């Protein structure tokens, strides 16, 4: 449920122009989101959050939600991505 919430929140922020340069590389299933970030953005987001590089050659990352991920965790991640992609 939290991965779907993250995906929706990112899509809404992209549509609103709050997040730029982010694209999805796979459908969201289970607990993971696969996305590409603009150069330098992953490092900025990593200052506050841990996540995986999936295909570093194209800037693809993997965000994983766990059983204890909260809505406020998701909101904070979306805000961090917005700051990182507009820096």
Structural domains for the chain: 2-85 (3.90.1150.10)
Q: What pLDDT, on a 0 to 100 scale, did the predictor assign at position 80? A: 98
Q: Which of 22, 13, 11 is nearest to 85 (CA)?
A: 22
Rounded distance between C-alpha atoms, residue 51 and residue 39, angstroms: 16
Residues in the chain, pLDDT under 70 = none
Element (H, E) at 12: helix 2-16
Query: Quick check: 22 and 14 in contact, CB under 8 A?
Result: yes
Q: What pLDDT, on a 0 to 100 scale, did the predictor assign at position 57? A: 95
The string of pLDDT tens digits covering residues 48-67 is 999 999 999 999 999 999 99
The two beta strands, 32-36 and 23-24, are: antiparallel
Rounded distance between C-alpha atoms, residue 49 and residue 42, angstroms: 10
């Amino acid at each position: 449920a939290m991965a779907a919430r993250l995906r929706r929140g990112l899509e809404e922020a992209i549509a609103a122009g709050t997040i730029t340069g982010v694209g999805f590389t796979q459908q969201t299933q289970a607990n993971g989101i696969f996305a590409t970030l603009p150069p330098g953005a992953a490092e900025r987001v990593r200052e506050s959050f841990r996540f995986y590089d999936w295909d570093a050659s194209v800037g693809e990352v993997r965000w994983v939600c766990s059983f204890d991920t909260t809505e406020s965790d998701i909101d904070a991640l979306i805000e961090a991505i917005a700051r990182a992609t507009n820096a």
